[in-house]
Chain A
Amino acid sequence: MGTVKITINGQEYEVEEGKTVLQAAAEVGVFIPHFCYHPHLPISGNCRMCLVDIKPGPPKLSIACATRVADGMEIDTENEKVQAARRAVMEFLLKNHPVDCPICDQAGECYLQDYYMRYDLESSRIQGPKEKVKKRKALRAGPNLYLDTERCVLCTRCVRFMRDVVKDEQLVIINRRDKAEITLFPGKELDHPYGMCLTDLCPVGAWTSADFRFKQRAWFLTNSPSVCPQCARGCNIWIDHRQGQVYRTRPRVNEDINKSFMCDEGRLSYHSIIDNRLTVPRVAEEGKMKKTSWSEALAAAAKTIKGAGAKLAIVISGSLTLEEAEAAKALGAKLGAKLYVHEGEPGWEDDFLRRADRNANVKGINGLEIKDKASAVGEDAVVLYLETLCPNPLPESMPEPAVVLTPQLSKAAGGAKVCLPAACFAETSGTFVNFEGVEQSFEPAVEPPGEALSHVEILSRLAAALDNKQVA
């Protein structure tokens, strides 16, 4: 692909051939406002917000999203004509837009708000709310979604996502003129496993998440980059949290892995970061799990492990990070115990993102020469089990683990002699290797709850406890 020379606002640039004006401008740092354009959706060209002045060309303005760069093109994104057209488009969009920002979840990350402040700032010329076209509001459009067609700017991003990306045309625009609105087929719900992507794609508050509804204002949230551990794809995500509490996860753009998308299951799995967490070490006593201190719990664990001798088997979850798996491997080498990786039964798969392998890091763990499956663990083995969030059920042939390192009160934790509270992916740094072999590292977003420690830290303390001669 060659390059072409273009001029944007008087400045000359050399850009890749075949790009659109909007893309080329963005790459050199000139932002052109837009609603309907999205880098991972087909071009629609209907919002008219990206109108710019292009010479040579027709005397009227051209849309930057659909015009390809050509050699010698002179683009003006800020002249009076362009600004006037933008103000006009903003006025038209706001003509029938309900000003319900105070109760709209999109407030703070709404294109209409941002563009109004940046490009418009004109007062309304309509004669009050009676002139606004009324449409449907707060419609429960699916298990995870609310639809508000009054807020909709009819950019058709959602329609194009359903039609062209996931290829399940559940949405259409009915009616013409200012009565046009997004709708589902009569009596149907939007039940697609990627349906919540509409809440990210929607530039305004028409599609909002039922899960996040009225929970937090967007501007209070801190966004931390991370990687979704729910399957072998390793979708890049943002973890949005405030005061240690995670409120939602959203896809983070990665051109090679998940573009701008993720599945609803992965998105909603953040609940497991909050719910049902193990926060203090526990030891089984007279058939009951009793809360205890770290030192007692570690001593109990060390005792169990020493008592197992050659029968010790270390089973690690396929969603453990590389760093955690390496620590487990080091411990195994030290104790002469064999390592097994627990993958569980395959889940659902599609030809879009979701992989049947429900673990985040099987490829990475296999790369550490830990390849035996948990089903190969002997019946008389004493198992040290390193678990992660949303664990897959252990194989029935495997004996109940004696010592469990786990972030949550899982089934395995219930039957163990000692369970130690571990941090989850959102609370540690680490590396996952996805099914294609892409290594992705991430940093902690929040602190672990209670007394929980990272797997690596627990293993190192466990090793120290094992070295302690006082333990019989």
Chain B
Amino acid sequence: MAEEYHILTKNWGKPDSHKMATYLESGGYEAAKKALGMEPGDVCQTVLDAGLRGRGGAGFPTGRKWTFMPKDDRPRYLCVNADEGEPGTFKDRDIMRFDPHMLVEGIIIACWGMQACAAYVYIRGEFVEPAQRVQDAIDEAYAKGFLGEDIFGKGYKLDVYTHLGAGAYVCGEETALINSLEGKKGQPRIRPPFPPQRGAFDMPTTVNNVESIAATPFIIANGPEAYKKWGTEKSAGTKLFCVSGHVKKPGVYEIPLGTPMMELIDKHCGGMLDDMKLKAVIPGGSSTPILRAEECEGVNMDYESIAAAGSMLGSGAMIVIGEGTCMVTTLDVLTHFYAHESCGQCTPCREGTGWMAQITGRIVKGEGSVEDLDLLISIATNMSGNTICPLADAAAGPVKSFIPKFRDEFETYIRERSSRNERPYPVKWRK
């Protein structure tokens, strides 16, 4: 049932919600038309006034990011980041599956605001269906004259392309995404130059998350005040949260920012699975520090409140962990994930991620020692902040939060060479 605050998800659940006809029925593309009647600078200002913050994880104000594009005569590009690789994140997928036209309309608005001549939607390679839906929506938009030459008769030309990734997590990092888009190996670039100075194909480029772009039609159509009606002072609007783990109804939920975490778990997700006790929550994707159950008390789902609790809102990928889950094997899954996904460019990350995976691997096998825990923390500390991109920090994050917060459990596992938990393995595929 659509709630009043359903901005991004308003069409979800309607029959053929991904089709142009459905989207037009709900007032689609009116915002894009309105935007093209505005000065580009006013479009950026409106988005900035609405307080929309980047939904990919960093939370940087989207409207401000747009103003970083240089005012010269080089062609400018928008890259839409639909790589969505963070474990636990699956919100952009549903935007692309259920309402791709909202994304296309957002692209028109963003490109007009930045005076970009082309947009590339970089979609995670595994997202076959969402990519097809986005491509179909783009084709429909071209057929209607909403894309291509002379959009809405305003003399503005915009082309939109989809590009499928090849499976690397690191390509969700904006400069790695640009390299991959150009056909190079997906490795982050050193900055400066930042993408607005030299991005895709050496031209000024802005990379925005799907959800950030999809939120702009509402903001343009209804004005910044309507958007700021939801959320908190510093975290305006609504956000998609993808909840996975031990809840009764995992899935994507759009709620206003600032909603209490417990309300999201208990009301929207139907409470804990099998009514088990909450053990911990990873609030914003696998790289964000874990919060123990008691740390989740009173935490609201907005950037500031989660930061105050010592973690990050990230991409809104909340992983709920119930009592009885082994944190040692859970950490092992995460260290192996980051070792697998380190691009291998910077020394600390290349060697550190693999090393941490080796150590957690031997702990899980019962061959670890208590000293290994301090070694893990030391490796994680040595990696943090010393690399080109934040993957090293992402890999270090779980280690640095799991071990101190569940030290007893780790030590018990090491001493007894096995887990006392009823669910020793968090996922089936690893032994």
Is there an interface contact between A89 and B347, defined as CB atoms closer than 8 Å?
yes
- Does residue A369 face the partner (Cβ distance < 8 Å to B)? no
Contact (Cβ within 8 A) A89 B344: no
* Contact of A95 with B by CB under 8 A: yes
Question: Which stretch, A43-51, A255-263, A390-398, touches the partner chain B?
Answer: A43-51
Does any Cβ of B come within 8 Å of A96's Cβ? yes
Residues in B neighbouring A45, C-beta threshold 8 A? 190, 388
Please measure, in the bound complex, the distance between the C-alpha atom of A176 and the C-alpha atom of B168, giving whole angstroms.
10
Q: List 27 A-B contacts (CB under 8 A).
A: A43-B190, A44-B190, A46-B345, A46-B347, A47-B346, A47-B347, A49-B347, A60-B385, A60-B386, A66-B190, A88-B386, A89-B348, A91-B382, A92-B347, A92-B348, A92-B350, A95-B355, A96-B354, A125-B375, A154-B350, A172-B185, A176-B342, A177-B344, A177-B350, A177-B353, A178-B342, A178-B355
User: Is the C-beta of B387 less than 8 angstroms from some C-beta in chain A?
Assistant: yes
A173 to chain B: which residues have CB within 8 Å? Answer: 185, 344
Identify which of A43, A89, A96, A176 contacts B343 (C-beta below 8 A): A176
Residue A153 is within 8 A (CB to CB) of chain B in the complex: yes
Cβ 8 A contact of A48, one of B185, B353, B354, B386: B386
Task: Say yes or no for B418: interface residue by CB 8 A criterion.
Answer: no
A131 at the interface (CB under 8 A from B): yes
| Contact present for B351 and A96 (CB under 8 Å) | yes
The verdict on A253 contacting chain B, using a C-beta distance below 8 Å, is: no
Residues A57-111 near B (CB distance < 8 A): 60-61, 63, 66, 84-85, 88-89, 91-93, 95-96
Sample of 11 more A-B contacts, CB < 8 Å, known A92-B351, A92-B355, A178-B344: A45-B388, A47-B347, A48-B346, A85-B386, A93-B351, A126-B355, A176-B341, A176-B344, A178-B353, A178-B355, A180-B344
Bound-complex Cα distance A318 to B348 (A): 53
Residue of A whose beta carbon sits closest to that of B344: A180
B contact set with A: CB distance below 8 Å: 168, 185, 190, 339-348, 350-355, 358, 375, 382-383, 385-388
B340 touches A46 (CB 8 A): no
Size range of the chain A interface in the assembly = 35 or more
Given contacts A45-B190, A60-B386, contact A93 B347 (CB under 8 A): yes
Q: Does A179 sit within 8 A of B, measured CB to CB?
A: yes
CA gap between A35 and B211 in the complex, in Å: 40
Cα A173 to Cα B353 with chains together (Å)? 18
Bound Cα distance from A409 to B66, whole angstroms: 74
Determine whether the beta carbon of B348 is less than 8 Å from that of A131.
no
Residues of B within 8 A of A61 (CB): 385-386
Given contact pairs A43-B190, A131-B358, A179 touches B386 in the complex (Cβ within 8 A):
no
Task: Tell me what chain A mostly uses at the interface: helix, strand, loop, or mixed.
Answer: loop
A138 within 8 Å of B by Cβ? no
CA distance A179 to B350 in the complex (A): 8
Query: Of the candidates B342, B382, B385, which one forms a contact with A177 in the assembled complex, judged by CB atoms under 8 Å apart?
Result: B342
**Does A28 count as interface, using CB distance less than 8 angstroms?**
no
Q: Top 7 nearest A-B pairs by Cβ distance?
A: A180-B344, A88-B382, A178-B354, A92-B351, A60-B385, A45-B190, A177-B342
CB-CB < 8 A to A85: which residues of B? 382, 386
A58-B342 Cα distance, complex, nearest whole Å: 23
Rounded to whole angstroms, the CA-CA distance of A51 and B392 in the bound complex is 15
Known contacts A89-B347, A180-B344; is A46 also within 8 Å of B353 by CB?
Answer: no
- Once A60-B385, A61-B386, A176-B340 are accepted as A-B contacts, the answer to whether A153 and B190 lie under 8 Å apart by CB is no
Residue of A whose beta carbon sits closest to that of B372:
A127
**How many angstroms between the C-alpha atoms of A316 and B348 in the bound complex?**
59
Binding site of B, secondary structure by majority: helix, strand, loop or mixed?
helix
Cα distance A158–B168 in the bound complex, in angstroms: 25
**Cross-chain contact A51 with B386 (CB below 8 angstroms):** yes
Closest Cβ neighbor of B186 among chain A residues: A176
Q: Which residues of B contact A153 (CB under 8 A)?
A: 347
Q: For the complex, is A123 an interface residue (Cβ under 8 Å from B)? A: no
Chain A, 145-184, CB within 8 A of any chain B CB:
153-154, 172-173, 175-180
Say if the beta carbon of A30 comes within 8 Å of chain B.
no
A133 at the interface (CB under 8 A from B): yes
Instruction: Report the separation of the CA atoms of residues A43 and B353 in the bound assembly, to the nearest whole angstrom.
Output: 24
CB contact list, A112-155 vs B, under 8 A: 125-126, 131, 133, 153-154
Give A contacts to B, CB under 8 Å.
Answer: 43-49, 51, 60-61, 63, 66, 84-85, 88-89, 91-93, 95-96, 125-126, 131, 133, 153-154, 172-173, 175-180
What is the CA–CA distance of A264 and B390 in the complex, to the nearest angstrom? Answer: 41
CA gap between A48 and B342 in the complex, in Å: 15
Which residues of the other chain, B, contact A48 by a CB distance below 8 angstroms? 346-348, 386-387
Which chain A residues lie closer than 8 Å to B354 at the CB level?
A: 96, 133, 177-179
Give chain A nearest CB distance to B22 CB in angstroms. 41
A96 to B347, CA, bound (A): 11
Nearest chain A CB to B348 CB, angstrom units = 5
In the complex, chain A residues whose CB is within 8 Å of the CB of B345: 46, 154
The distance in angstroms between the C-alpha atoms of A365 and B332, with both chains bound, is 73
Q: Could you say which residues of chain B place their CB within 8 Å of the CB of A88? A: 348, 382-383, 386
**Which chain A residues border B375 with CB–CB below 8 Å?**
125
Check A180–B358 contact: CB distance below 8 A. no
Q: A63-B190, A125-B375 are in contact. Are A178 and B351 (CB under 8 A)?
A: yes
Chain B residues whose CB sits within 8 angstroms of the CB of A43 once the complex forms: 190
Chain B residue numbers with a CB within 8 Å of A125 are: 375
Chain B contacts of A178 at CB under 8 A?
Answer: 339, 342, 344, 350-351, 353-355
Q: When chains A and B are docked, how far (Å) is the Cα of A48 from the Cα of B382?
A: 12
In contact, A92 and B382 (Cβ under 8 angstroms): yes
Distance (Å) between the CB of A389 and the closest chain B CB?
Answer: 44
Chain A residues within 8 Å of B351, by CB: 92-93, 95-96, 178
Residues of A with C-beta under 8 A to B386: 48, 51, 60-61, 85, 88-89
Distance between Cα atoms of A437 and B225 in the complex (Å)? 73
Q: Which residues of A contact B341 (CB under 8 A)?
A: 176-177
Which residues in B have their C-beta under 8 angstroms from that of A177? 339-344, 350, 353-354
**Alpha-carbon gap, A176 to B388, bound state (A):** 15
Say whether A154 contacts B348, CB under 8 Å. no
- Complexed CA–CA distance, A194 and B190 (Å): 28
Residues of B within 8 A of A49 (CB): 347
Which chain A residues border B339 with CB–CB below 8 Å? Answer: 177-178
Residue of B nearest to A59 (CB): B385
Q: CA–CA, A44 to B190, complex, Å? A: 8
A9 to chain B, nearest CB (A): 20
Distance in angstroms between the alpha carbons of A43 and B343 in the assembled complex: 18
Of chain A, the residue at the smallest CB distance from B348 is: A92
Q: B343 to chain A: which residues have CB within 8 Å?
A: 176-177
Contact in complex: A46, B346 (CB < 8 Å): yes
How far apart sit A154 and B385, CA to CA, in the bound complex (Å)?
20
The minimal Cβ–Cβ distance linking B405 to chain A, given in whole angstroms, is 24
Taking CB atoms, residues of chain A closer than 8 Å to B355 are 92, 95, 126, 131, 178
Which of chain B's residues have a CB closer than 8 A to the CB of A91? 382
Q: Which residues of B contact A131 (CB under 8 A)?
A: 355, 358
Which A residue sits closest to B189, measured CB to CB? A45
Neighbouring B residues of A96 by C-beta, 8 Å: 351, 354
**B221 shortest CB reach to chain A, Å:** 38
Closest chain B residue to A88 by CB distance?
B382
A67 to chain B, nearest CB (A): 9
CB of A5, distance to nearest CB on chain B (Å): 21
Q: How far is the CB of B404 from chain A (nearest CB, A)?
A: 20
List residues of chain A with CB within 8 A of the CB of B350. Answer: 92, 154, 177-178, 180
Residues of A within 8 A of B382 (CB): 84-85, 88, 91-92
List chain A residues, Cβ under 8 A from B340.
176-177
| Most chain A CB within a 10 A radius of its CB, from B185, B352, B382, B386 | B386
> How far is the CB of A267 from the nearest CB of chain B, in Å?
30
B290 CB to nearest chain A CB (Å) = 23
Q: Quote the shortest CB–CB distance from B166 to chain A (angstroms).
A: 12
- Chain B: minimal CB distance from A280 (Å): 57
